[in-house]
Chains A and B, each alone.
Chain A
Amino acid sequence: MSETVVIGFLTAMIATGTPLLFGALGEVMAERSGVLNLALEGSMLAGALISFLVAWRTHHLWLGLLVGAIAGVAVALVMAFLCVSLLTNQVVTGTVLNILALGVTNFVYAQVAGTALSPPHVSLFPNVVIPGLSHLRFIGPVLFQNPLLVYIAILLVPASGWFLYHTRGGLALRATGEDPRAVASVGMSVLRIRYLAVLYAGLMAGIGGAYLVLGQVGFYTPNVTAGRGFVAIAIVVFGRWNPYRILGAAAFFGATEALQERLQALGISLPAQFLLMLPYLLVVVALLVSIRGRGEVGTPAGPRFLTIPYEREAL
């Protein structure tokens, strides 16, 4: 097993894991506030398409990213309006929004680029090489020669952790998912907190989707996200709603996908699909295991009031 193979594997792991990490870091905030944002997939897809189109036409990758992020927020805005303000069922609303997002993106893409013989593509985000560190053996090329967005994603982990556990805002957010009435009783607005959390999730998903096409693959195909939004949700569960654990979970999911492409090269004779299904099964196991433990969220399946719409009432 040569060094290049391992480096290739690790690099692929990071590349694959980054969109997932973005999505998960966004979703964790939404779920901590009590909203199961299944429309994360839709946000990611919207971000992917819009960022691609903008980057393709303007040749400005970062502009594409920006607009893609906004697209993700737009989807999340609809989700927030329906679930938080109109108190609709979160599971159903998220599912339908995903269907809508898929339809819209397919439709728009078909109009714009459907008839081209070969799918249009864009150049990828350039790697930002960190001087000095990138020359380290092994981890140098793996960790320190990545596009800027990867560094941003990784740095977001401690930033999210800091926010959640060391600020009053994070305290309020966590409280909202555990007991919105307690939050309302101290005069804060559950509505506002949930809106912000869901919009943030959309933003992150939008960026994740943008990175997927502009940083990882370089082109767009219909349904390019292929369920990555749901994988991000699984990562949040697997990481037990903790940003640091989520980093590990995202790496794990990225690793299994990177691994299954390289099984032969690595001399492992395991069917690739088993490796791919492993993370999902482990999520279920993780849920079962955390039944006993005293986690940082109210129940093994997340914050106590997850998926429960909160209706404002004068206590």
Chain B
Amino acid sequence: MTMTTRPRPLGAYPVRIRRQRDLIPSRSRRLAIFVSSVILGLLIGALLMAIMRVDVLTAYRSLVSGAFGNSDNLVATLLKTAPLLLAGLGVLVAFRAGIYNIGNQGQFLAGALCSTWVALHVGTVSGALGVPLMVVSGLAGGALWALVPALLRAVWGINEIITTLMFNYVAVYLIDYLVTGPMQSASLGVPETDFLPSGMQLPIIAPGTQLHAGFLLAIIAMLLIYVLIFHTSIGYEIRAVGHNPRAAQYGGVSLRRTIVGVMLLSGALSGLAGMGEITGVHHQLLDGVDGGFEYTPIVVALLGVLNPFGVAVAALGFAALSVGADNMQTVVGLPSSFISIIQALIVLFILAGEYLGRLTIERRGPASESREAAEAETTQTREVKL
């Protein structure tokens, strides 16, 4: 947010390119930026491939078939999509409120930890109680991990970027300690916990494959978050706070409650993702259970323009690229890091495109001056009392 603005002095040019700070780029413009960024990224990829004497078409084709080519690959892609989608939804919720929760990794691990601990301590449980119990533990673990940064932000205004970042590290070390110490499996003798009792494992939803219910959970979460953000009063408040905290406050929204609530929900979603990986894939807690996905959910959330369905598509895209990259490595010898380069480039182009999206070309004249003067009337306070 910026303070009082004043127009620029007149120059000599009849036409001027101006950046309008408050302009929200139209949908068509945003789509254009997105599409051209993707194309540009792919072109650069193709260029690099050409330099390395890799056949571009084969490479891209192996990428696609590696992701979707056969049912095994498809399942692998979907399996990778689920946690990415859940964590991406967590990021979405926080960012929509203007809260920069980058602690999804720690919250993921906390959810994994909590569900493992509960599973191992509760033991075998009757009937259909296992999975709901796991879901709750995953949610609770993630939410708890976000609680301290949430309170620090809501009550004292302490920057959540730094606190959530720090908590990521704490989580990683905590897990390491636990799987090499108190929670280490006595029988396995490696830094892993015991396997979870069978009642606590997510059931497979597509027989004969490894596709577990975590994928369903992710889809359900996507729908629920969509409803929450766009069809409930709570979502309305979250969006209002994210756009204009002062006006939200004027409209009776409690900023503190919104911040804490959003952080807890955000953490819970990442925690659920962690739970899914434990109970669906590994069935035990071990180091590196987050599969190195640290900050990808943030990128996914942004690519999905903070819309649950967009995030789903972005998550699917990222998952597909990761899975396909393995195949691409086998077929044309390009390492998977190549794909992450293309992914990152595309996102950077989109970021840069945001700036372009706010540029307007206009003729200089009295009309533009009055608009500038009108904009000059706008004052926004930067800090809002909580």
Asked if chains A and B are in direct contact (CB within 8 A), the reply is yes
Q: Point out residues on A near B: beta carbons under 8 Å.
A: 36, 78, 82, 86-89, 91-93, 95-100, 102-104, 106-107, 110-111, 114, 181, 227, 230, 233-234, 237, 271-274, 276-277, 280-281, 283-284, 287-288, 291, 299-302, 307-308, 311, 313-315
Cα of A46 to Cα of B352 in the assembled complex, Å: 22
Q: What are the residues of chain A within 8 A of B296 when measuring CB–CB?
A: 99
Q: What are the residues of chain A within 8 A of B159 when measuring CB–CB?
A: 287, 301-302
Per-residue interface assignment for chain B, residues 325 to 353, with 1 indicating a CB less than 8 Å from any chain A CB and 0 otherwise? 00000000001011111011101100110
Tell me if A96 and B299 are in contact (CB < 8 A): yes
Q: Point out residues on B near A: beta carbons under 8 Å.
A: 1-3, 5-9, 19, 21, 52, 100, 102, 148, 152, 156-159, 161-163, 165-167, 169-170, 173-174, 176-177, 180-181, 295-296, 298-299, 302, 335, 337-341, 343-345, 347-348, 351-352, 354-355, 382
Q: What are the residues of chain A within 8 A of B9 when measuring CB–CB?
A: 314
Cα of A290 to Cα of B37 in the assembled complex, Å: 43
User: Of the candidates A91, A181, A230, A272, which one forms a contact with B100 in the assembled complex, judged by CB atoms under 8 Å apart?
Assistant: A91
Q: What are the residues of chain B within 8 A of A181 when measuring CB–CB?
A: 3
21 contacts between A and B (CB under 8 A): A82-B352, A86-B355, A95-B102, A100-B340, A104-B341, A107-B341, A181-B3, A230-B165, A234-B165, A273-B174, A277-B173, A277-B174, A284-B163, A287-B162, A288-B158, A300-B156, A301-B158, A308-B1, A313-B5, A314-B6, A314-B9
Cα of A88 to Cα of B302 in the assembled complex, Å: 13
Tell me if B335 and A95 are in contact (CB < 8 A): no
Q: What are the residues of chain B within 8 A of A280 when measuring CB–CB?
A: 166-167, 169-170
User: Of the candidates A97, A273, A281, A307, which one forms a contact with B176 in the assembled complex, judged by CB atoms under 8 Å apart?
Assistant: A273
Tell me if B299 and A107 are in contact (CB < 8 A): no
- Min CB distance B181 to A, Å, is 6
Cα of A96 to Cα of B348 in the assembled complex, Å: 7
Say whether, besides A96-B347, A230-B165, A271-B181, A284 and B148 are in contact (CB < 8 Å). Answer: yes
Extra 13 A-B pairs, beta carbons < 8 Å, given A86-B354, A314-B6 = A82-B352, A89-B351, A92-B299, A97-B348, A99-B295, A99-B340, A100-B344, A234-B165, A280-B170, A291-B158, A301-B157, A307-B161, A311-B2
Tell me if B340 and A102 are in contact (CB < 8 A): yes
Cα of A97 to Cα of B157 in the assembled complex, Å: 27
- Min CB distance A221 to B, Å, is 13
Q: What are the residues of chain A within 8 A of B165 when measuring CB–CB?
A: 230, 233-234
Cα of A107 to Cα of B344 in the assembled complex, Å: 13
Tell me if B174 and A92 are in contact (CB < 8 A): no
Tell me if B338 and A99 are in contact (CB < 8 A): no
Q: What are the residues of chain A within 8 A of B169 when measuring CB–CB?
A: 227, 230, 277, 280
Q: What are the residues of chain A within 8 A of B355 when measuring CB–CB?
A: 86-88
- Min CB distance A198 to B, Å, is 16
Q: What are the residues of chain B within 8 A of A88 when measuring CB–CB?
A: 351-352, 354-355
Tell me if B335 and A36 are in contact (CB < 8 A): no
Tell me if B344 and A96 are in contact (CB < 8 A): yes
Most buried by B among A103, A281, A288, A315: A103
Tell me if B348 and A82 are in contact (CB < 8 A): yes
